[in-house]
A and B are shown apart, each in its own frame.
Chain A
């Protein structure tokens, strides 16, 4: 079964850090680009970051550039998002999703992990 499972979410104070993980199974992880998308409570989808299959290309939304770092470990079939200098507006459910290419559709999505930034 093709599956993505996020973990690492939780409650963190403003200015704090958190590292999200996404474990992939059921497909050849190293052949796919991977993405993070977030959704604030009651709001729409917001793209966060994308990484190509070999990590050669990495892109970020302006809202997280310089604070978040995306990475992957193809040997471990895992995707990561290191989030630093967190703000209240980063509060959201964070989804990982795969795509055939950086331009492609997000085929499979995880169930999401909640990140709450609050004092």
Chain B
């Protein structure tokens, strides 16, 4: 089955740029979606189809996808961005949804 690999944690200072990676075999050929989840809350979609932002999501959130790595980039990080972030794809070879293990973003 298809596996998505995320770093368990990423730390960044306020105002800096955070990059959260999602690795998978030829992930660049798939559509990647990203979710933010704060403690005790349901996940929220922040990036869909690699790089599109839903309405209401700040422009500071952006995404890219190429080769074996997809990346969620958060510019000018704020304290309120501290959360767990998950990448997700549809794996057509197994007809299943796959989530990455999640990355905890800490704002120093």
Contact surface of A with B, Cβ cutoff 8 Å = 35, 37, 44-47, 50, 59, 61-62, 95, 97, 102-107, 109-112
Contacts and interface: CB of A to CB of B under 8 A. Distances in A.
Contact of B44 (A35, A109, A111): A109
Nearest to A101: B90
B31 A45 contact: no
A44 B101 contact: yes
Interface string B33-63: 1010100001111001100001000000000
> Among A59, A61, A103, which residue has the most Cβ atoms of chain B within 10 A?
A103
B97 A50 contact: yes
B12 interface: no
Contact of A109 (B43, B90, B99): B43
Interface of B: 1, 31, 33, 35, 37, 42-45, 48-49, 54, 84, 86, 88, 90, 92, 95-102
Given A103-B90, A107-B54, A47 B45 contact: no
Contact of B96 (A59, A97, A104): A59
A47 B97 CA distance: 6
A110 B44 CA distance: 10
> Among B54, B90, B98, which residue has the most Cβ atoms of chain A within 10 A?
B90
A105 B49 contact: yes
Contact of A45 (B1, B48, B90, B102): B102
